[in-house]
Amino acid sequence: MGHDLDNVWVDRLGALLLNLCCDRVAALCHLERRRLSRAGVRAGKLTVIHNPVDWEAVLAMARLDDLSDRPAVLSRYGLNSTRRHLICAASFQPRKRQDLLLRAFACVSNDFGDWDLVFCGTGSTLAEGQDLSRRLGLESRTHFLGALSNQNTMELAARTDAVAHLSCIDTFGYSMVEPLLLAKPALVTRVGIGYELEQADVATVIEPDNLEAAVTGLRKILQSDPQVLDRVRRAPAFVRERFDVNKIAQALLDLR
């Protein structure tokens, strides 16, 4: 039913069609199941089946077995290996809220002078993000790398220090899940799969569209709060267990 949360009539029409035409309705996450229920999809038809994560492929792309090439990889993207880097890999569009991350980073940047902010992606709000970075005085500490392949993104993320994804709307959110496999401190919002990550306590999860919450969460991430480090230790096993391709396939077969 897409990302249009404000069109109630479209949601209700979609729910009516699902009730009439479908035996079962799979939601990608708990929050999507709740939205479908509010729209009118019958509870007996609803189940949650997450998107699968090919965690072996993600780890292969990240090349975690040897991180000694960190300076060379960072240098390839114009990043200084003597600094620490917070990465956000997402297309530039309004719902991804790169602007919120920039504003939150501006609020804490003086206290964490050894950190830089790295964006991977392109899209309709890229120029706005670059302009906001300049207006906030972050131009020297913000890096816009453009669109990268999945492999290059995973390789780079594995050699940076933390991840943030502050989207205000998502139906799943691979950008929230995949970095957890890399054992990176992650700041994400309570959208899409964020609810499950919060319940498992494997990421720092905050309310979306909330600058104060973003600043508080970002401080915890950048200062390596002990609770954050505990989440990092448990996160990879959680992703492998919860989103394994074979387990998701079996869950789909069990719908019969």
Question: Which residue shows structure tokens 């509870």?
Answer: 43
For 205, list phi and psi in degrees, rounded to 5.
Answer: -110, 130
Can you tell me the mean pLDDT for 10-28? 83
Predicted structure pTM score: 0.91
| pLDDT in the model for residue 19 | 76
Sort 98 into a burial class: Cβ within 10 Å, 0-12 / 13-18 / 19+.
buried
Tokens of 251: 């869950």
> Which residues are registered as beta bridge partners of 179?
none
pLDDT digits (tens, 9 = 90+) for 223-254: 989 999 999 999 999 999 999 999 999 998 88
Instruction: Give me the long-range contacts of 11-15 (CB less than 8 A, separation at least 24).
Output: 11/35, 11/38, 11/39, 11/40, 12/39, 12/40, 14/39, 15/39, 15/40, 15/41
Which domains are assigned to the chain? Answer: 8-52+243-253 (no CATH), 56-241 (3.40.50.2000)
| pLDDT in the model for residue 4 | 46
| pLDDT in the model for residue 10 | 77
pLDDT at 2 over 50: no
pLDDT at 1 over 60: no
115 vs 45, residue with greater confidence: 115
CA distance 206 to 88: 16
pLDDT > 70 fraction of the chain, expressed in percent and rounded: 97
pLDDT at 7 over 70: no
| pLDDT in the model for residue 6 | 55
Name the amino acid, one letter, at 224: S
CA distance 16 to 20: 6
Can you tell me the mean pLDDT for 6-12? 71
Asked if residues 164 and 221 have their Cβ atoms less than 8 Å apart, the reply is yes
| pLDDT in the model for residue 107 | 98
pLDDT digits (tens, 9 = 90+) for 115-162: 999 999 999 999 999 999 999 999 999 999 999 999 999 999 999 999
pLDDT digits (tens, 9 = 90+) for 168-208: 999 899 999 999 999 999 999 999 999 999 999 999 999 99
